[in-house]
Structure 1
Amino acid sequence: MSRRTATLVVSGLLLLALACAVLFAPVPYAELSPGPTYNTLGDEGGRPVIEISGHETYPTSGHLNMTTVSVTNKSYDMPLLDALAGWVKGDADVVLKKSLYPDDKSAAEVERENAEEFSSSQEHAKVAAFAALKIPIEKQVIVSTVAKDAPALGKLHAGDIILAVDGAPIGRTEDVAGAITKHKAGESVTLTVDPADARGTRRDVQVVTGRAEDDGRALVGITPGILPKFPFKVEIHLEDVGGPSAGMMFALGIVDKLSPGDLTGGKFVAGTGTIDDAGKVGAIGGIQMKTIGARRQGAKYFLTPKANCAAAAQTRPGGLTLVQVETLDDALKALETIRTGQGTLTECHA
């Protein structure tokens, strides 16, 4: 072998080794792919996804599937080759890892936040569904948070129901601050609570007020919130799911089970979207992956938040109708059109 040939061979091998090293080098990206879907009208793990007790329920048919996105975990070091493949594939999305897992949060913290958002979405779904059905709900004022180093720290806890302040009944969140600020900083205030860890009891808690830095008003360092008190039990059973994006589909499932007839007419409908107590549907992430996952499971219609419509329409899977919704009422009207075949659906367009 001549020196020139040997040089070319060695150079080629070095170039190949370098290319392999680059292609398998880790990059700070994560991959999103279509996750499983769950029929909110069906069962999962041997239990109804939505279980209602203490009130009459009605038979349902068809599907109202909530959708999910599968995400690579924080510890996964994605090779450049996999990232390039993900960018090319039509059924995956590659994004910066820090957009999913912020540097200042551990994987456990992100998971806990997702679980809290999922739990909160269920409560909003119940409130919105009950409002749509005109079922009255009592609202209780609770301790939502206790500030670090606050006068109330260790005395009041998140979830405590605030029944009265200095003997005056509390009916609204603003009543709490109004009663406390009647005191001067340094004075003692008495809060009557039903403790989160001992429901059904009544306890008087005395707190010496602190002073607000901005205007010197008295405070105890809590943020009041609202806890709905439902007239009967609605439980949602799903594990290993996080985030707030199933809210609308949970609300629809609750409405369907509590209403005569059925919402879908036996059709396969999927969807996504956050929901608030007033029934407003909000945008979510990973819309393209959710529409792909829904179509793979057999969905023919996909209820899509208005803010996600344009992005969803750009990669709409064949055979899937994307229906635009802004509120729970929009979704219910769309289901009536799907069920009866009468009327016109507001579809998403790129």
Structure 2
Amino acid sequence: MPRRTATMLASTLMLIALLCAGVLIKVPYAEMSPGPTVNTLGTHDGEPVLDIGKGPRQYKTSGHLNMTTVRVTGADYRMNLIEAAWGWMRHDSLVVPHETLYPDDKSAKEVDQENAEEFSASQESAKVAALRELDVPFRSYTIVGSVEKGSPAQGKLHAGDVITAVDGQKVTKDPLRVGELVTEHKPGEKVTFTVIPAAKATKAKEAGKKFPGDRREVTVTTKKAQEDGRAIVGIQPTAGHTFPFQVDIKLADVGGPSAGLMFALGIVDKLTKDDLTGGKFVAGTGTIDDAGKVGEIGGIQMKTVAARAQGAEYFLTPKGNCPTAAKDKPDGLTLVKTGTMDDAMDALKKIRTGHADSLPTCKGN
């Protein structure tokens, strides 16, 4: 066999071997890519994304206030070496360590449950931030947000229970007060919670009625916290709210807290005469808390790519994400630095009134 032919054959066989190895070798990475974007002012799967019940006057809206998402590979999927290498080279993909998305100490089911809980909490905070922006009064109180598995409170207190008092001392809308009262005890001592059971509280809330007058007392023995030795019972108190009208956010197959800002802006737009966008295509992301503070999120590069692909001109960007977002900004997309609900409202006013040149934009490092 001629030497040249032998060399080409050997090279071809080696290439085939390398490709086979690349396909067969699994690597501990996961991939993030641009996901769907949904206009919070519009419909999704035939239903309004924001369904506001009877009571408040609602106004016509125009333009877009799109929330953005990221697609991720499944918890059980293992990328091969070729897929990882291709993902690293692509502009619209981000390859990250598998444990970044799916921690080793949590099952896929636990991760999904956590994402669902964060999404639900973000909806509640979005409603609170929106109604505060509109000066619409509502009632706040303290509830059991979650109960730690294996804790003294398990089986005695339940998520959704309304806490009205601890050891006879009244608790209103400040969840931190619960922790303060519990830690006045020494580990091993008993603490008494006065609660309205979750089922009764939920029924009253859905019916738009006041909470029932009947309370029950639950006594829990505290234990020592591993990190600092203080007394704990294993619950996470959080704020609950009763709103003067129903606001349903109907968006399935979405998890995590990153749509909070866009949900809040969508609610405000539907309940105010001002057309917030002025017909412009605005997208964005960011968590939001009850006070209207916007928090940073993951996968920002994938979200800006998705938004621009759908036609967005402006992207409301959490200020903590600005340096990363600005490094790989899609052409034609203005990244607007946003730290609070007020920042977002000011930005939308500039956009709709033709003063976009004065927007606070994201800069790279």
TM over 0.5: yes
Q: Equivalents in 1 of 2:163, 2:80: separation in Å?
A: 53
Preserved CA contact (<8 Å) 1:190 1:204: no
Q: What SS does structure 2 have at the residue aligned with 1:78?
A: coil
Q: 1:348 is aligned with what amino acid?
A: C
Q: What SS does structure 1 have at the residue aligned with 2:200?
A: coil
Preserved CA contact (<8 Å) 2:283 2:314: yes
Give the equivalent residue in structure 2 for 1:139. Answer: 140
> Bigger shift: 286-295 or 136-145?
136-145
Does 1:239 find its partner at 2:246? no
Q: TM-score, normalised by structure 1?
A: 0.89
> Bigger shift: 161-170 or 278-287?
161-170
Q: Equivalents in 2 of 1:152, 1:108: separation in Å?
A: 23
Q: Equivalents in 2 of 1:30, 1:119: separation in Å?
A: 25
Does 1:287 find its partner at 2:300? yes
Q: Equivalents in 1 of 2:229, 2:288: separation in Å?
A: 38
Q: 1:277 to 1:175 in 2, by over 3 A?
A: closer
> Bigger shift: 70-79 or 142-151?
142-151
Higher Cα radius of gyration: 1
Does 1:273 find its partner at 2:286? yes
Aligned-pair Cα RMSD in Å: 2.8
Q: Equivalents in 1 of 2:153, 2:180: separation in Å?
A: 17
Q: Equivalents in 2 of 1:179, 1:313: separation in Å?
A: 45
Does 1:347 find its partner at 2:354? no
Does 1:56 find its partner at 2:57? yes
Q: Equivalents in 2 of 1:177, 1:32: separation in Å?
A: 38
Give the equivalent residue in structure 2 for 1:263. Answer: 276
**Deviation of residue 334 (structure 1)?**
0.6
Per-residue CA deviations over 1:236-258 (Å, capped at 9, x if unaligned) read: 00011111111111111011111
Q: TM-score, normalised by structure 2?
A: 0.85
Does 1:226 find its partner at 2:239? yes
Give the equivalent residue in structure 1 for 2:78. Answer: 77
**Deviation of residue 63 (structure 1)?**
0.3
Q: Equivalents in 2 of 1:228, 1:247: separation in Å?
A: 16
Q: Equivalents in 1 of 2:331, 2:48: separation in Å?
A: 31
Instruction: Find 2:348's aligned residue among 322, 325, 335.
Output: 335
Give the equivalent residue in structure 2 for 1:161. Answer: 162
Q: 2:22 is aligned with what amino acid?
A: L
Q: 2:361 is aligned with what amino acid?
A: E
Q: 1:269 to 1:220 in 2, by over 3 A?
A: closer
Instruction: Point out where structure 1 has 5 or more consecutive residues left out of the alignment.
Output: none
> Bigger shift: 180-189 or 35-44?
180-189
Q: Equivalents in 2 of 1:254, 1:244: separation in Å?
A: 16
Preserved CA contact (<8 Å) 2:138 2:241: yes
Instruction: Find 1:205's aligned residue among 217, 228, 232.
Output: 217
> Bigger shift: 157-166 or 53-62?
157-166
Preserved CA contact (<8 Å) 2:194 2:216: yes
Q: 1:187 to 1:267 in 2, by over 3 A?
A: closer
Q: 1:260 to 1:104 in 2, by over 3 A?
A: same
Per-residue CA deviations over 1:19-46 (Å, capped at 9, x if unaligned) read: 1223212222222111110000001122
Q: 2:238 is aligned with what amino acid?
A: G
Q: Equivalents in 2 of 1:131, 1:78: separation in Å?
A: 45
Preserved CA contact (<8 Å) 1:40 1:49: yes
Preserved CA contact (<8 Å) 1:59 1:261: no
Q: 1:34 to 1:195 in 2, by over 3 A?
A: same
Per-residue CA deviations over 1:296-335 (Å, capped at 9, x if unaligned) read: 1111111111121222122211211111111111111110
> Bigger shift: 322-331 or 164-173?
164-173
**Deviation of residue 203 (structure 1)?**
3.5
Q: What SS does structure 1 have at the residue aligned with 2:199?
A: coil
Q: Equivalents in 2 of 1:233, 1:78: separation in Å?
A: 44
Q: Equivalents in 1 of 2:101, 2:180: separation in Å?
A: 40
Give the equivalent residue in structure 2 for 1:21. Answer: 20
Per-residue CA deviations over 1:121-154 (Å, capped at 9, x if unaligned) read: 1111111111111222211111233344444432
Q: 1:205 is aligned with what amino acid?
A: E
Preserved CA contact (<8 Å) 1:291 1:302: yes
> Bigger shift: 61-70 or 10-19?
10-19
Q: Equivalents in 1 of 2:87, 2:184: separation in Å?
A: 60
> Bigger shift: 115-124 or 172-181?
172-181
Instruction: Find 2:321's aligned residue among 308, 319, 340.
Output: 308
Q: What SS does structure 2 have at the residue aligned with 1:249?
A: helix
Q: 1:103 to 1:138 in 2, by over 3 A?
A: same
Instruction: Point out where structure 2 has 5 or more consecutive residues left out of the alignment.
Output: 205-211
Q: Equivalents in 1 of 2:328, 2:119: separation in Å?
A: 27
Give the equivalent residue in structure 2 for 1:296. Answer: 309
